[in-house]
Amino acid sequence: MTTASGKPIRQLLGELFGGVRNLARDHVEEFKAERANEREARRRAPVQFGVAIGITLVGAVLIGQALAVGIGALGLPLWAGYAVIGAIVLVVGIQLLRKLPSTSDMDTVPEATIKRIGHDIKEIATEVADDVRSASGGPPLPPGVRQ
C-alpha cells in the first residue's frame, strides 16, 4: 500500500522512526549539556562561600585587634588604622556572603529541554496523523485543526 506521496507505508514508518531516533539523540545531548552547566554552577558555590567566609574572618580578626589595641593604648593612630581596614574587609565579606546563590535557585530540572521535547512530540503526532489520513485517502486537515 502506498500513500498519496507515492511512498510505501513501510518506508514512511522507517523515516519516522529514524527521525524520532535522531531527535531523541539530540535531546539527550542537549539534556547532558544543560546538566553539565548546572553541575558547574553547584561546584563553584562552595568555593565562593569559602572565600566569603575567609574574608569575613580576616575582617573580624582585624576589628578585634583594633579594639584590643585601642583599649590598651587609647591612642588614635594605631588602632584607628586597624579599625578602618577591619571595617572595610568586614563589609566586603558580608557583601560577598549576600551575593552567594541560593541553593533553592539552583535548578536541577532542564525545563528548556523538556519543553522542546513536548513541542517535537506534538509536531510528530501531527505529521503522523496527516500521513495516516493521506494513506487512507481522506483529505488532510488544515493546520491547527484537531480531530
Query: Does this model's pTM top 0.75?
Result: no
Q: What are the tens digits of pLDDT across the range 78-110? A: 766 667 777 877 888 889 888 887 766 666 667
State residue 111's pLDDT score: 76
In angstroms, the CA 100 to CA 78 distance is 34
Q: Which one has a higher pLDDT value, 123 or 72? A: 123
State residue 22's pLDDT score: 82
Q: At residue 77, what is the residue type?
A: P
State residue 47's pLDDT score: 85
How many C-beta atoms surround the C-beta of residue 86 within 10 A? 21
In angstroms, the CA 5 to CA 36 distance is 43
Question: Helix, strand, or coil here: 88?
Answer: helix
Q: What are the tens digits of pLDDT across the range 1-54? A: 566 666 777 777 787 778 888 888 888 888 888 888 888 878 888 888 888 989
Taking the alpha carbons at both ends of the chain, their separation in whole angstroms is: 24
| H helix intervals, 1-147 | 9-73, 76-98, 111-135
Report residue 68's pLDDT band, with 50, 70 and 90 as the boundaries: low
Q: 15, 10, 8, 2: which is closest to 127 by C-alpha?
A: 15
State residue 98's pLDDT score: 86
Contact 13, 73 (CB under 8 A): no
Q: What are the tens digits of pLDDT across the range 114-145? A: 788 778 778 877 777 776 666 666 555 556 55
